[in-house]
A and B are shown apart, each in its own frame.
Chain A
Amino acid sequence: MDFEQTWAILASAFTQIHEKQASKLSFEELYRNAYKIVLKKKGDELYLRVAEFERDWLSSEIERRIHKELPPQLMNALQGRSSAGSVGDDQVRTQGERFLRQLKLAWEDHQTCMSMLTDVLMYMDRVYCADTRRPSIFTTAMSLFRDCILRSHVRGDDSWPDICGTLNHVILDQIRMERDGDFIDKHLIKANVYMLEGLYDSHHEVEEEKLYLTSFEYEFLASSAEFYRALGDRLLKESDAGQYCRETRKRIDEENDRCRSTLLESTTPKIQKVVEDELIRYRMKDLIESESGVRFMITNERHDDLALVFDLEARVDPRKPELTKALQKIILEMGTNLNDAAQLGAAAEAPEDRAKAPADKLVNQQTVAALKWVEDVLELKDKFDAMWKQSFQSDQTIHTAIMRSSAEFINSHPRCAEYMSLFIDDNMKKGIKGKTELEIEALLNKAIVLLRYVQEKDVFELYYKKHLGKRLLMGRSLSIDVEKQMIFRMKMELGNNFTAKLEGMFKDMTLSEELTAGYKGYVARLGDADPRRIDLAINVLTSMTWPVETTNSAPDDARESRLKTIYPPAMERIRQGFENYYKEKYSGRMLDWKGNMGTVDVKVTFPKVPSKGFKERRHELNVSTYAMLILLLFNDLPSGASLSLEEIQARTNIPTNELVRNLQSLAVAPKTRILLKEPMSKDVKDTDKFFFNEGFMGKFHKVKIGIVSAGNRIENDRERVETEKKNNDSRGYAIEAAVVRIMKQRKELSHQQLVTETITQLNSQFKPDVNMIKKRIESLIEREYLERIEDSPSSSYRYLA
């Protein structure tokens, strides 16, 4: 066999294949000849000849064709892109496209031809290449394309980038045009991208060595980063935050589309990261804090924009640090504003009006302000909750942030616990009137949610007890059912401990009803049916369960309160009667009568006053027990006679402050002036004289005479000091109890540990003050519950059983 002769046949056929005239070639002949060469052990030579043939073809014919499409103008434009601007942009673009087209054509031709050559050389590939572990001739030919075409320099000039570099430039240039809103030939670029993907940087055919990765993608990402950095700058300056977000979204989508249609999908995550870095990660802070940022969006209820901000930041960081930070700041600010407004509202008009407006009015104003504060807080919360659902996809991190900031500003209001209780009180008395079950449900939920925020649960409990007590005793609750529901919810939220006493109050009320009925039966059985007998309804309150304040009078009256209130004989009889009945039922219990908390219906006949044309009028007055005692004094008095305050007190033993209050409501309040006072003024003094007002006119048969400041309202300063003191006391007990519990279990503990554990234990009730804990420990040591461990390095204690 003559190799040269056989090869000549093949070589001429290969030339025809490259010239696209293969259909005239006989595959049988070519295959047979190639087969023969390999069979004759010239596979090695054949392989080399084919490679050489391809190299010659590529570096002469194909290289020439490609280089022809790279006129100096295009090369210059590509190089000087940054400074040249868009002069002759269209021409450069056309030239670039022609270059791409030529390269695409060359690549596709090369592939087609090589696949035909591979067909012809099938036997060589299968037998010779496999045996000697040569890369297939196709692979070798592809490497040749890379070396001869992509790595060649235009006109042999090394100062220009090689074809591969030029290709990158042209593609990037086209992408830049598309980013600027132009239309480009995506398929053309994609074809070239496929070429880069099909070639490797070296003869190692591994993924990382793909030319697309080593040559193009890197530059693409770098130039994109630059582009988006500039875009970010411009957008921040020129657009508002909403637009910025929309633009960013659009850009991200565009890049995704570009990867799909023009580049490779494997680039998608990488370019996304670039856009996210440049437009989101590095800009989020500026964006959120910008004038049209999150604050603006919240103020103007731009829910869609907020959702965009959220969406964008969530892309780069699941914790969304900037958005959460901004939200927290804004909530805190808005909350602080509410707090300030509440304080301002409470203090408003106070200085100038103090003279004419009674203290009560001021207090009422403050109560209104307190209720408004709670309403505002709820509104704020609703606003952010709605936002959370609508814009922030109910995200957990955001929720925590909102919760935390809300708790912070709510607790920064010193009287939040009292306000909350007042709010519930107000709703129990008025708010729920005419509301559907669902609405009430929602309201209760709101109350509970707010309660969740309050740190000083013990203070809240104190106020709630006080307010609830008054509601129950004065029958002011619109629905005991709703009251109980509220308690139930608190129980779910805060546990049994918290509601035990509150539930006790309800139990007392039920028991009292039974007692009242029982007593009625008891009296009826006694038989002496006295038509003038006084009906008695009684509430027996367990002393520890009910708020101390309601059952005891103020401390400065302590001395007086020890004096027994003097009841007129008719009353005294009934009192005795009930006490006997009660002792029969529950032996060993003490009853303490609280005149300041009861009410009495009194029938009064006002005489004819002919001089003024008044007829005789009968009224039924609903007054407090004390007021009843006062009024009864006037029964025995001749018309026109008067009693001084001192006289009244001496004859009734009513504590001074209660007496003053009752006299105010009887003699000062304009609509219920059953008594007349001399001199007529708003304040009640010791020397004032009181007359029965024979000329009283009431519009209705029944007249309710409220006791001044009997309703639940905001506390005045004195009361507050008192409440605080009481609260501190109860906290002291709670701390001591906790300390003892801990020490009993641990026997010995360092000071630091003890304090920490105590705080942990009590955290659900309130935040204990460290100094208070110290004092309590001292006191426990004094009382020999604990002792100091003498030779311990850090101060420690031991439990004494």
Chain B
Amino acid sequence: MASAPTSRKQGFVGADRGSSLYESGELTDFTIECGKHSMRVHKAVLGAQSEHFRVLCGQKFKEGCEGKVVLKSTEDDDADEACDDPEAIKLMVNFLYYEDYKAEQILTKFHYTQTLRMTGSGSSTQYKVIKSKAKPGIFRNLRGRPKALPTVFGPPRPSDGNMVVHARVFAVATKYSIPALQTLACSKFAAAVAVNWDHPHFAEATHIVYNTTVGSVRQLRDIVCDTIRDHKDLLDVPVIESVIKANKDFSHELLRLAYELPATAKEGSGEGDTEDEDMEDRELLSMVGGVSESDSDSN
């Protein structure tokens, strides 16, 4: 991460000349619209960082040819979970140009239970508490897959505490395959949870985490599960309870954790599994292919 990212941080060249290409909108060749946002961007910047945008901006489909994509926004259709949050999209574009994004600060003002409050106030103290309460290896290889584990417990850093936005950005990053953004959002999310786990937003964040990623994308789910395990009182919070009840995955994972099992059972890290998987493959293939005999029959 030497010189190349630097120019990106500055918004695609520019720097001392005043506005960068992103800010000035010069040489842009593509437009991303989502809800109320419309952003002029550069195909090259998008395509270089995301496989999804590489295809989207290419010539194969309508968007590439028209130079414009309209991402269906949650504002358009609330029922469709596959829609994007316009704010998260905006942050994503920021990230693509600046390698970082900023979310609104959520202050630790309101808490469900005073009893849960630990000594002192302010983020750094909170961080310490979590660390001391957390068993070593909480993020360790319980999930087996070391998929970009966030380096949450690095040097203490101030957190904006905005769990909801980071969860949304993470969802966007996962959907549009931007691994670097996934990692960043994940670590921001972890830091925020560490600060604000007893904030009402935690319930919403939890809801977002369990509805925008699948079970195999573990990063945020692990943070949520571990947080609840470490703060069992959270289970008593009604909003959280309803979120848990509404999501089978979530309930199941918590149940397993309660029994001190890994959050998900199916982990393909063991070598003994290969054979089984092989067989599965074959089964699946025969299901898929239907094999040629049946084919010729139908002819």
Contact = CB atoms under 8 A, between A and B. Distances in A.
B287 A48 contact: yes
B288 A26 contact: no
B290 interface: yes
A398 to B, nearest CB: 56
B52 A31 contact: yes
A156 interface: yes
Given A22-B61, A26-B63, A35-B82, A123 B56 contact: no
A119 B214 CA distance: 19
B23 interface: no
Given A28-B69, A48-B284, A122 B51 contact: yes
A84 interface: no
Interface in B148-205: 175, 177
A27 B61 contact: yes
A33 B52 CA distance: 14
Interface string A22-46: 1111111111110110111101000
Contacts of A699: none
Contact of A28 (B56, B217, B285, B289): B56
Given A51-B288, A131-B216, A203-B282, A156 B299 contact: yes
B266 to A, nearest CB: 8
A12 to B, nearest CB: 15
B281 interface: yes
A152 B289 CA distance: 13
A134 B62 contact: no
A440 interface: no
Interface in B74-91: 80-83
Contacts of A147: 289, 291-292
A32 B72 contact: yes
A123 B284 CA distance: 19
Contacts of A123: 175, 177
Interface in A695-744: none
Contacts of B20: none
B80 A28 contact: no
B214 A27 contact: no
A119 B280 CA distance: 25
A140 interface: yes
B292 A152 contact: yes
Given A26-B63, A35-B82, A119-B55, A51 B281 contact: no
Contacts of B81: 1, 36, 39-40
Contacts of A48: 284, 287-288
Contacts of A131: 214, 216
B183 to A, nearest CB: 16
Contact of A35 (B55, B70, B175, B284): B175
Contacts of A22: 60-61
Contacts of A381: none
B297 to A, nearest CB: 9
Interface string A125-161: 0111011111100001001100110011100100000
Contact of B82 (A24, A33, A126): A33
Interface in A223-271: none
Chain B contact residues: over half helix, strand or loop, or mixed?
A: helix
A52 interface: yes
Given A32-B82, A126-B177, A133-B277, A59 B60 contact: no
Contacts of B213: 39
B83 A39 contact: no
Interface residues of A, number: 49
A26 B60 CA distance: 10
A24 B214 contact: no
Contacts of B62: 23-27
Given A48-B288, A52-B288, A39 B82 contact: yes
B71 to A, nearest CB: 6
B219 interface: no
B268 interface: yes
A27 B268 contact: no
Interface string A568-595: 0000000000000000000000000000
Among A32, A47, A128, residue most surrounded by chain B Cβ atoms (within 10 Å): A32
B288 A55 contact: yes
B193 to A, nearest CB: 22
Interface in A641-688: none
Nearest to A50: B288
B35 interface: no
B3 interface: no
Contacts of A135: 281
B296 interface: yes
A133 B268 contact: yes
Contacts of B262: none
A523 interface: no
B83 A143 contact: no
A45 to B, nearest CB: 11
Given A28-B70, A126-B177, A133-B268, A39 B214 contact: yes
Interface in B243-299: 268, 277, 280-282, 284-285, 287-292, 295-296, 299
Contacts of B216: 127-128, 130-131
A767 to B, nearest CB: 70
A789 interface: no
A30 to B, nearest CB: 8
18 contacts: A1-B81, A25-B61, A39-B82, A39-B214, A47-B284, A48-B284, A55-B289, A55-B290, A59-B299, A119-B61, A122-B55, A123-B175, A128-B216, A131-B216, A147-B289, A147-B291, A152-B296, A203-B281
Given A27-B64, A156-B296, 8 more contacts: A32-B82, A39-B214, A51-B288, A116-B61, A134-B284, A140-B288, A151-B292, A152-B296
Q: Which 7 A-B pairs have the closest CB atoms?
A: A51-B288, A36-B82, A27-B61, A131-B216, A119-B55, A32-B82, A133-B277
